């Protein structure tokens, strides 16, 4: 797959009148973009993609691994700091426009990169050009193999939620719920979590991204559980809200509104919509029920190699939805001093509509 991805990137470089892309920073999304283009999964490497070749520079620790995982790249053994070996990699790029990922390189990293280039004779120094989302724009449409990997992570997460939700009882702490989820994931083939599990009982659930505490859960309160699985480089994201005991009228009402918003957005979202238009499908349902100001986050976000990636599905998002995109649909209502309800599924756009990938059980409105 990496050869086709590299070819697609080269077409982008041509479109933007660029001669190469240098993925330089080991922080943030850069290792993900490097893995996407090269296949290399190690934690320390640099990637230079030109019109003619791809060079993966790494040190002795990853030399053999890089050779095995990145057959479409020329592997270069880097010795010492960037300024020691980068000029050798850049030798053939004199006077060329070399892109770097502005969102993924630190100020210090940029200074080091410029200093390394200064070691080249002036005619041989490439011009650095800041770019945004060159690789992320390629990653947004998932290949069949990627979709299968995402579905495998989702399936483990669905099973983990169903197992733990079926056993949780008053007296369990929020941390215990989070640990039982992680334990199930690791015992059933998951590599780990895609993010620290969120568990919020009662009023704590009014914070959309609360963290699990030693707080003991009580009968008669709702519990927001937001969790994800990492598997073979891909991740999942799932939120469910459960209730200990018999749901009261307030919980029934709020849950029903959120579920209606989630189902409406899932049913009506279409290819060609912007992220904002998709968001408003759910937001309008919640607003008409009188809680618009209590749904303050976006409807969703892309998921793949990262748990938050393109497209953005939220107010102010102009991202156009197309077939092959995978993203979440997760409306919520959060009431201070009471708690919150959020329901989240992952979907893929196919044949112009959304197909739901998550199958963890939800509370039935009939049962409520």
- List the chain domain ranges: 2-139, 144-356
Per-residue pLDDT reduced to its tens digit, 51-93:
989 999 999 999 999 999 999 999 999 998 888 898 888 887 7
Provide the mean pLDDT of the chain.
94
| Percent of the chain's residues with pLDDT above 70 | 96
Q: What does the alpha-carbon distance between residue 178 and residue 225 come to, in Å, rounded to a whole number?
A: 8
Q: Which residue stretches of the chain are H helix?
A: 2-15, 30-38, 63-69, 82-89, 107-118, 134-139, 144-165, 174-187, 249-268, 275-288
Judge whether residue 131 has pLDDT over 90.
yes
Q: CATH class for domain 144-356?
A: alpha beta
The residue that leads in pLDDT, 124 or 293, is 293
Judge whether residue 366 has pLDDT over 50.
no
3-state secondary structure of 20: strand
3-state helix, strand, coil in the chain (%, to 5): 40, 25, 35
Taking the CA atoms of 24, 65, 150 and 180 in sequence, report the sign of the dihedral they define.
negative
**What burial class does residue 225 get, using C-beta atoms within 10 Å of its C-beta: 0-12 exposed, 13-18 middle, 19+ buried?**
buried
Rounded (5°) CA angle 360-364-368: 140
Domain 2-139 and domain 144-356, same fold? Reply is: no
Quote the pLDDT of residue 355. 98
Q: What does the alpha-carbon distance between residue 113 and residue 128 come to, in Å, rounded to a whole number?
A: 9
Compute the average pLDDT of residues 301-306: 98
pLDDT band at 30; cut points 50, 70, 90 = low
CATH code, residues 2-139: 3.40.350.10
The residue that leads in pLDDT, 26 or 126, is 126
Quote the pLDDT of residue 27. 53
Quote the pLDDT of residue 26. 59
Compute the average pLDDT of residues 154-161: 98
Q: What does the alpha-carbon distance between residue 316 and residue 185 come to, in Å, rounded to a whole number?
A: 35
């Amino acid at each position: 797959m990496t050869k086709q991805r590299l070819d697609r990137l080269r077409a982008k470089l041509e479109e933007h009148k660029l001669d190469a892309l240098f993925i330089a920073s080991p922080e943030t999304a850069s290792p993900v973009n490097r893995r996407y283009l090269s296949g290399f999964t190690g934690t320390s490497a640099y990637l230079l993609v030109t019109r003619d070749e791809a060079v993966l520079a790494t040190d002795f620790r990853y030399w053999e691994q890089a050779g095995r995982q990145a057959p479409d790249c020329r592997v270069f053994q880097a010795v010492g700091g960037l300024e020691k070996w980068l000029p050798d990699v850049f030798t053939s790029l004199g006077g060329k426009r070399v892109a770097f990922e502005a969102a993924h390189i630190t100020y210090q990293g940029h200074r080091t990169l410029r200093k390394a280039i200064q070691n080249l004779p002036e005619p041989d120094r490439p011009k650095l050009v800041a770019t945004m989302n060159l690789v992320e724009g390629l990653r947004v449409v998932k290949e069949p193999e990627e979709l299968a990997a995402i579905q495998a992570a989702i399936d483990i997460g669905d099973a983990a939620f169903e197992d733990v939700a079926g056993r949780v009882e008053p007296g369990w702490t929020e941390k215990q719920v989070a640990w039982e989820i992680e334990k199930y994931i690791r015992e059933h083939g998951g590599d780990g979590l895609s993010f620290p599990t969120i568990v919020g009982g009662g009023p704590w659930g009014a914070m959309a991204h609360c963290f699990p505490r030693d707080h003991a859960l009580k009968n008669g309160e709702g519990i927001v559980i937001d969790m994800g699985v990492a598997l073979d480089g891909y991740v999942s994201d799932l939120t469910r809200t459960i209730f200990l005991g018999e749901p009261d009228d307030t919980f029934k009402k709020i849950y029903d509104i959120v579920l209606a918003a989630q189902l409406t957005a899932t049913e009506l979202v279409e290819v060609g919509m912007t992220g904002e238009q998709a968001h408003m499908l759910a937001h309008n349902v919640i607003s008409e029920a009188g809680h618009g100001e209590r749904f303050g986050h976006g409807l969703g976000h892309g998921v793949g190699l990262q748990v938050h990636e393109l497209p953005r599905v939220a107010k102010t998002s102009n991202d156009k939805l197309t077939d092959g995109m995978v993203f979440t649909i997760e409306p919520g209502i959060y009431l201070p001093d009471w708690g919150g309800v959020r329901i989240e599924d992952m979907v893929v756009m196919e044949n112009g509509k959304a197909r739901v990938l998550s199958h963890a059980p939800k509370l039935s409105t009939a049962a409520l």
